[in-house]
Each structure stands twice: as structure tokens, then as C-alpha cells.
Amino acid sequence: MTNSIEEFEQADCIFIIGSNTSVAHPLIATRIYRAKKNGAKIIVADPRKVHISEIADIYVRQNMGTDVALLNGIMNVILSNGWHDQAFIDERTEEFEQFKKVVEAYPPEKAAEVCGVSAEDIRLIAECYGKAEKASIVYCMGITQHTTGVDNVKSLANLAMLTGSLGKESSGVNPLRGQNNVQGACDMGGLPNVLTAYQPVTSPAASEKFAKAWGVEKLSQKVGLTIPGMLEGLENDTVKALFVLGENPVVSDPDVHHVKKALEKAELLVVQDIFFTATAELADVVLPGVSFAEKDGTFSNTERRVSRVRRAVEPIGESRQDWQIIQDISNRFGYPMNYASPEDIFNEMTLLTPSYAGINYPRLEGDGIQWPCPTAEHPGTRFLHKDKIARGKGLFHAVGFLPPAEIIDQQYPFWLSTGRVFAHYHTGTMTRNSPTLDAEIAEGFLELNVDDAEKINVSNGEWVTISSRRGSIDVKAMLTKRIAQGSVFMPFHFIESCANILTNPAHDPICKIPELKVCAVNVVKRPLPA
């Protein structure tokens, strides 16, 4: 997030797109409710009429995978009415002219034809967001999990820069991180192209700095493989071993039949986890780590706040601290490590990580610290891009609309999207093993529009078979008006009705994110067993 969670309360306009906020990030939704109470206008754009749309001043239902068209339409209206911030554009950004040319090709009537939102609603959103003093964008995986995920994010950045809604209190672009430490995993270099704090592996200076600190002659400067790349490598025998720490790709990744096949080909699959997950079932070695309750360390949340995790109970059975397991393997492998504690690791990390350089465990007592925090005296950073955009000049991108990778046809006439439910979390490893949460929602379901249900003669709670080009599953139908006619939705938490058997692994060419939010499926009443 460019801003802090508490800043939402003072925003004049909050534009939520592709985020089921009250379900996936309840405590951020709380701030948005307060903002509404304080007089903020709330805009929600989502193909599903998600729960938070109930408080929206404007709710629109765009067709799945058409966000760029919608956003370009909105920006077209802002430009033609002069609601943009020319001073901000001149002083703080570049490449505006090329961007403008593309947006001029999206008058609201034309955008409406693609995205299914009326030209009138597009004008209303443009006015509401464009005229607001403090406007904040909230987005989540509904924006990113597309083959055009990068284009979608760039379009939101364009919108914020166009109106100067960036680099000030309560104004910015705020992606909500789905997992407790996805921010931290990225900050710590858990990515194939960067070391900690996004220092490129291809940079000779960064590479040399880390090699020296880590006591090796040199590091590889070749960008590594992403998850889809590793799976492909397993299939074509260029990757032989996979070490999986606390992840469950057999449930979370698209086209799981294909994922399983790839993992089965591994010469060595090591899984370090706290439960016997579907991925662990395929492993050659399973190493029991510990849960957050049994460990010391830090998490970095969606507003870049580094907070302490503290050990409250003893490890279960013979399970061991995850850092100790890795250190033990490293020592046996021949690369010596000798850390005494998580704090010891943290202190080494901060020496190599400019945005964390001023943070240490004693300073984290209390409220935690938001990076960037470059020195021991620095208080941390509430919002980014103040006075000046971090990269120098904010870069406008000219982005045209591209359709999703898979389009509905006669054989697969429904659009499928996937997501979360309020009581569960990701692959359900923890929440489905919590009796209270399991009692709330114990099984998967398919949201089906009531009119569609009538056409295919399905009643509420009845079993349907849903199929895509990748596979087919049986699941109970939940009839609703929340989803548009011609579209269906499924949560992906439930392995017995695993939504990711159906989803499309087609991914964004730049960031490799799969298109989990759109694919084409067919839905029929489940045939009676013979």
C-alpha cells in the first residue's frame, strides 16, 4: 500500500475495484465503513455484487477481465472535463502524451460496449473520483490475477497520477496483500529476480555486496524461475528438485492436474509445513515446522508495517523451528550457517536491506515500524511518494484493452471466477482444521445466478457438474443474484471440490501471474449415477 490503513478514514473518495474487502480483509473494511460515516463517497466495481457494495454510493458490475476498458473510459471523462491535475502531471510524471493518446480512444460509450458498465455510470465514477480532494484506490487479486494483471495495475497508477491522488495523506494506490507475510516474503527476496528490498540479482553492485556479506565468491546474476517456470522445468526435466516451505501449490495453483503431474516428476520434493497438505502427500521428505504461535520473528503487513511475532507455546511433538531446519540443512549441505536466534538473522538482513536498515527488535516493541526506515532515528513511513515519486518521475503507461486468454463459447458458455469466503483462508490448511470456522462453512459451493439456474433446471443445494478445458468437478449450487447471469463463482479453499482443477494457467507475460479470475466453463445438473 502507498498509504496506511488508518488513512482510509479521512479519504473523500474510496474506489474499490477487484477486492472483496469485507470478506478477505475485514479490518480494512472497518476503516472504509468509518470513512463512509465520515462522509467519504464509496465506489465499488466488481463483477460480483460483493458484500461491501452494500455501502457503495456507486456500484458497477464490469464484465470479467475488462478493467482496462472501464478505467480508460473513466480517465477519458476526467480528461475531457478537465478534472485532471495538470500541475502534478507536469512536475511529477512523464510520458503523459502517449498515455493521453490511448485514453482518447476510449470515450465512455465505447468503453461501455466492452466493459458492460453504462456510459452514464462511467461518467459518475469519473466525476466522483476525479473531483475528490483525497481519493484512494483499493484493489486486490480481482485486478491482478489476469493475463493483463500488469496492465490493470498500470491503469490504476495512471488514474491516481492523472488526478494527483498520490503521495499525500489518504490519497494513493492501495493493493491489499492477501497473506499475512506476502509483503515480507517479497521484501526478503523471495522472488527470482531480486534480493532483499528489490535489489536486482542482475545488478553487479548488489550481487557483489551480497556475495561479500554471505562469504561466497560470487552469486548467480541470472534471473531465476517463477513457480510456473519451475513446474515447466520439472516437466521437461530441467528442474529435478523442489524445496517447498509452507506452501500448498496442489490446491492454490491453476490447473492442479497439471501441477500434480509436474510435482510427481521431481527427483526430490521436500515439503516443510505444519500440516500434512495435499502437496506433502507427494513429497519424498516432509519436515514438520512450527506455527506462528510457536515462533519468534516478524511479519510485514499490507501497509509495510513490520510487527513482532512472539513465541507463546512450545513446538508440537518433535516439530522444530523453521529457521533451524533450514540452517541444519545448509550446514549439512556444506554452506555453514550459525545463527543463534531469529533476531540474529534479522540483524544481518537489515545490514543488506536499505528499507529495513533502521529497524531492530527493540524498536519493534509497541506499534511496529513501516518501511522505508533507513536509519535508527527514522520514524518509518506512513505513505509513499511524498513530494516526489520514488522512481524520480511517475511513469504514465499507454495501455490498451486486451481480452482474457479464454473466452466463453458454445461448449463453455459461463465465465468462472474464484475467490475466498469469510470463514476460510487460502488452501484451508489452518481454517479447515479450526472447528468453529469449519462449522461456519464446511464445504465448497458454486454461486449460480437464479435465472441461469432456472434455465439449466437446478435448484438451490443441488449438485452440478462444472467443467473447463482442464478438468471437471462436482459441487453443490448456491443460487444467488450476487453473480451476474452468465457468470459463476467458486471459493478455492476446498480440495474436495477444488476450483483450481478448472482454472486457466495462462499468465501475464511480465509478472507471470495466472488468470485465476477468468476462464470459460460449462455447468450442468449432475447426471444421476447409472
Partner 1 sequence: MDYRTVLTTCTYCGCGCNFFLEVLDGKAIGTIPCKTSPVNEGKLCIKGWNVHEFIHNEKRLKRPLLRKNGRLEEVSWDEALDYTAARLKEIKEKSGPDSIGFLTSAKVTNEENYILQKFARAGVNTNNVDHCARL
Q: Is 425 in the site for partner 1 (CB under 8 A)?
A: yes
**Helices 108-115, 119-131: inter-axial angle, 10-degree rounding:** 110
Residue 218 is classified by DSSP as: -
Q: Residues 96 to 155: which contact partner 1 by CB under 8 A?
A: 144-145
Q: Is 33 in the site for partner 1 (CB under 8 A)?
A: no
Q: Is 240 in the site for partner 1 (CB under 8 A)?
A: yes
Q: Is 440 in the site for partner 1 (CB under 8 A)?
A: yes
- Neighbour count for residue 237 (Cβ, 10 Å): 9
Q: Residues 363 to 382: which contact partner 1 by CB under 8 A?
A: 367-368
Q: Is 529 in the site for partner 1 (CB under 8 A)?
A: no
- Grid cell at residue 22: 469485507
Q: Bridge-partner residues for 370, per DSSP?
A: 305
Q: Is 434 in the site for partner 1 (CB under 8 A)?
A: yes
State which of residues 11, 14, 28, 102 lies at the interface with partner 1 (CB under 8 A).
28
- Give, for 174, the enclosing helix (H) or strand (E): strand 172-175
The C-alpha atoms of residue 107 and residue 81 are separated, in whole angstroms, by 12
State which of residues 49, 209, 265, 308 lies at the interface with partner 1 (CB under 8 A).
308
Task: With contacts defined by CB under 8 A, name the span among 107-115, 161-169, 385-393, 428-436 that binds partner 1.
Answer: 428-436
Count of positions on this chain that bind partner 1 (CB under 8 A)? 140
What's the residue count for the chain?
Answer: 530
Q: Residues 61 to 100: which contact partner 1 by CB under 8 A?
A: none
For residues 246 and 486, which CB has a smaller minimum distance to partner 1 in the complex? 246
Q: Is 2 in the site for partner 1 (CB under 8 A)?
A: no
For residues 75 and 244, which CB has a smaller minimum distance to partner 1 in the complex? 244
State which of residues 245, 395, 398, 456 lies at the interface with partner 1 (CB under 8 A).
245
The C-alpha atoms of residue 22 and residue 44 are separated, in whole angstroms, by 12
For residues 225 and 395, which CB has a smaller minimum distance to partner 1 in the complex? 225
- Give, for 149, the enclosing helix (H) or strand (E): helix 149-162
Residue 273 is classified by DSSP as: E
State which of residues 157, 437, 498, 521 lies at the interface with partner 1 (CB under 8 A).
437
Q: Is 442 in the site for partner 1 (CB under 8 A)?
A: no
CA 81, 85, 86 angle in degrees (round to 5)? 95
Q: Is 201 in the site for partner 1 (CB under 8 A)?
A: yes
- Grid cell at residue 137: 484506490
Q: Is 482 in the site for partner 1 (CB under 8 A)?
A: no
Q: Is 307 in the site for partner 1 (CB under 8 A)?
A: yes
CA 8, 421, 502 angle in degrees (round to 5)? 120
User: DSSP string spanning 415-433?
Assistant: EEEEE--TT--TT-TTGGG
State which of residues 193, 460, 472, 485 lies at the interface with partner 1 (CB under 8 A).
193
State which of residues 226, 465, 467, 480 lies at the interface with partner 1 (CB under 8 A).
226
CB of 193 to partner 1, least distance (A): 7
**3-state SS assignment for residue 62:** coil
- Grid cell at residue 84: 485532471
The 8 Å CB, 24+ separation contacts for 354-361 are: 354/197, 355/187, 355/197, 356/187, 356/196, 356/197, 356/306, 359/306, 361/308
Q: Is 510 in the site for partner 1 (CB under 8 A)?
A: no
